[in-house]
């Protein structure tokens, strides 16, 4: 296993730092949530998010991000992905319409640590089938979170997502996965949302035991139709091949030195802005 494949385990104080970054993302998405209504252009939402992150001492991690040579850097603070765009949508002059679903995915860096999570919003009233897709993707994430426990493996999380959405005949997007996170936005381990096809890959994820110090993101990306995307190589945006709607929720979790799982990300500020009360 090379250096690049190593999992960077974090101390409790490092986890606390990451939690602060994640909190900044949560508050930023709270501001974003207030703008999720018909008539608002995507670039405006992005500007509000960037200003909020910078005003609070953070940096927008996605802006200028370029994981592979030869591809254009990501130009914005937020990924805003509307309807059949599942992830990595670039905020442009598109104006939100009643009935859209739109995922806001935000990564912010504070004191060198990255916070990263995402939420799919409904604009005004959406169709019943879109509403169900969004709700079940949210539930798939929370179901998977129950498996993010010491002694389980990454395989258990992957299986949890896939098995949750299977009865609805949704398609899991497989070209992208959840990921470890810390001083880099993307670290090991990969956290797929499906059970890999080859025995070798399955073995790899079954060997990846969840243990103290791990910090990673779980992020189901679910299509209403198939999970196929238009172009595997097109990193931004990622669009569903069948042009049917897709949803995406992401949470960031840590396992502390005591072996306790902590969800670092929070939907509290989003839900307050939307007037959702779970209590
Ligand atoms: N939340 C996304 C992820 O988990 C952020 C990547 S957007 C990028 O990978 F533009 F920076 F790539
Ligand atoms: Co992520």
Quick: pLDDT tens for 197-217. 999 999 999 999 999 999 999
63 in Cβ contact with 74 (< 8 Å): yes
Please give all residues whose beta carbon lies within 6 A of any atom in ligand 1, as ranges: 62, 65, 74, 79, 88, 105, 107, 116, 118, 217, 219, 250
Mean pLDDT of 35-45: 98
Specify the residue with its C-alpha closest to ligand 1, atom 8: 62
Q: What is the pLDDT of residues 117-164, one digit of tens each?
A: 999 999 999 999 999 999 999 999 999 999 999 999 999 999 999 999
Res 15: pLDDT: 98
Average pLDDT taken over every residue of the chain = 96
Structure confidence at residue 279 as a pLDDT band (50, 70, 90):
low
Res 1: pLDDT: 42
Question: Could you identify the atom of ligand 1 that is nearest to the CA of residue 105?
Answer: 1
Distance from C-alpha of 221 to C-alpha of 216, rounded to nearest angstrom: 16
For the range 110-113, what are the long-range contacts, defined as Cβ-Cβ under 8 Å and sequence gap of 24 or more? Answer: 110/17, 110/20, 110/21, 110/24, 110/56, 110/57, 110/58, 110/59, 111/17, 111/20, 111/21, 112/17, 112/183, 113/14, 113/17, 113/18, 113/20, 113/21, 113/182, 113/183
Mean pLDDT of 37-56: 98
* Beta strands 221-223; 187-191: pairing state: unpaired
Residues with C-beta atoms within 5 A of ion ligand 2 = 116, 217
Q: What is the pLDDT of residues 6-25, one digit of tens each?
A: 899 999 999 999 999 999 99
How much distance in Å is there from the Cα of 26 to the middle of ligand 2?
Answer: 14
Res 70: pLDDT: 82
The CATH T-level fold of domain 3-274 is Creatine Amidinohydrolase (3.90.230)
DSSP state of 61: S
Question: In Å, how far from its chain's centre is CA 249?
Answer: 5
């Amino acid at each position: 296993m090379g250096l690049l494949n190593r999992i960077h385990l974090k101390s409790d104080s490092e986890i606390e730092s990451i939690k602060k970054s994640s909190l900044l993302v949560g508050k930023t998405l709270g501001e974003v949530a207030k703008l999720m209504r018909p008539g608002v252009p995507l670039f405006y939402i992005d500007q509000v998010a960037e200003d909020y992150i910078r005003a609070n001492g953070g940096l927008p991690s996605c802006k200028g991000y370029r994981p592979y040579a030869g591809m254009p850097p990501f130009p914005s603070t937020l990924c805003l992905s509307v309807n059949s765009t599942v992830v990595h949508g670039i905020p442009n002059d598109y104006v939100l319409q009643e009935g859209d679903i739109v995922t806001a995915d935000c990564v912010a860096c504070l004191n060198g640590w990255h916070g990263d999570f995402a939420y799919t919003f409904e604009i005004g009233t959406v169709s019943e089938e879109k509403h169900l897709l969004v709700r079940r993707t949210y539930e798939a994430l929370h179901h998977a979170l129950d498996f993010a426990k010491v002694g389980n493996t990454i395989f258990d999380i992957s299986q949890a997502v896939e098995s949750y959405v299977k009865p609805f005949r949704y398609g899991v997007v497989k070209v992208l996965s959840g990921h470890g996170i810390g001083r880099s936005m993307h670290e090991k381990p990969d956290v797929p949302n499906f059970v890999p096809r080859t025995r070798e890959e399955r073995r790899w994820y079954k060997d990846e035991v969840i243990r103290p110090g791990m910090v990673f993101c779980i992020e189901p990306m679910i299509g209403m139709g198939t999970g196929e995307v238009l172009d595997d190589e097109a990193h931004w945006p990622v669009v569903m091949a069948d042009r049917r709607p897709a949803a995406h929720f992401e949470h960031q979790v840590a396992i502390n030195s005591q072996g306790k799982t902590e969800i670092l990300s929070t939907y509290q500020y989003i839900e307050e802005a939307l007037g959702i009360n779970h209590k």
